[in-house]
Amino acid sequence: MMILGIRTSPTTVRYAVLDCNGTVVSLVNADSENKLDFPADCRSIEQKLHWLHQELDRVLRQYPGIERIVIKANEYGRGGEKASSREAAYFDAVVLMTAGTRQLPVDVKLYRTIGTRRNEVKTFAETNVGATNRYWNEQMADAVSAAWSGRND
């Protein structure tokens, strides 16, 4: 089973494609594209939402074996909601709508439901799945960890 893990931010969407075959889990896109940067000419939220929808469709066509999507959502804590986290939530909604049109199950998870914490997510992802060869950071580790957590759902 292939799982798509997603982590959105106002400037970039990170995604991990995992192939889960029993107890063997591999990061399919470790050496290829895993980062969707919003183009400079996408300034308005409407333009970004439209562009992201097109890109998600492209990714799903590129990996037709994807059977589930898991989104790592923003953590809302003491700082409260900010404009940037609100924008990321809009992007999460695009993922949800894209999954719905393709009838793919989707889960939205926080660190607690993934089984890790922000300051440990890179180690968690590396230990359980591995790391990408380019652009490895916490957001990419979020996408990998989210996808990994969806393998038994």
pLDDT of residue 83: 60
CB neighbour burial string for 73-105, b if at least 16 within 10 angstroms, e if fewer? bbeeeeeeeeeebebbeebbebbeebbeeeebe
| Closest CA relative to residue 13, chosen from 94, 82, 80 | 94
Sorted by where each starts, the structural domains of the chain and their CATH numbers stand as 2-150 (3.30.420.10)
pLDDT of residue 77: 64
Joined together, the tokens standing for residue 118 give 């922000």
pLDDT of residue 81: 59
- Give per-residue pLDDT as tens, 48-90: 999 999 999 999 999 999 999 999 998 876 555 566 678 899 9
Mean pLDDT per 10-residue segment, the chain (153 residues): 96 96 94 96 94 98 98 77 77 96 97 96 97 96 97 81
Task: Provide, rounded to the nearest whole percent, the portion of the chain with pLDDT above 90.
Answer: 86
Question: How far from 104 is each of 31, 47, 54, 94, CA to CA, in Å?
Answer: 25, 24, 17, 13
pLDDT of residue 82: 64
- Given a contact cutoff of 8 angstroms between Cβ atoms, the answer to whether 68 and 106 are in contact is yes
* Distance (Å, whole) CA 63 – CA 26: 14
pLDDT of residue 76: 73
* Distance (Å, whole) CA 18 – CA 65: 10
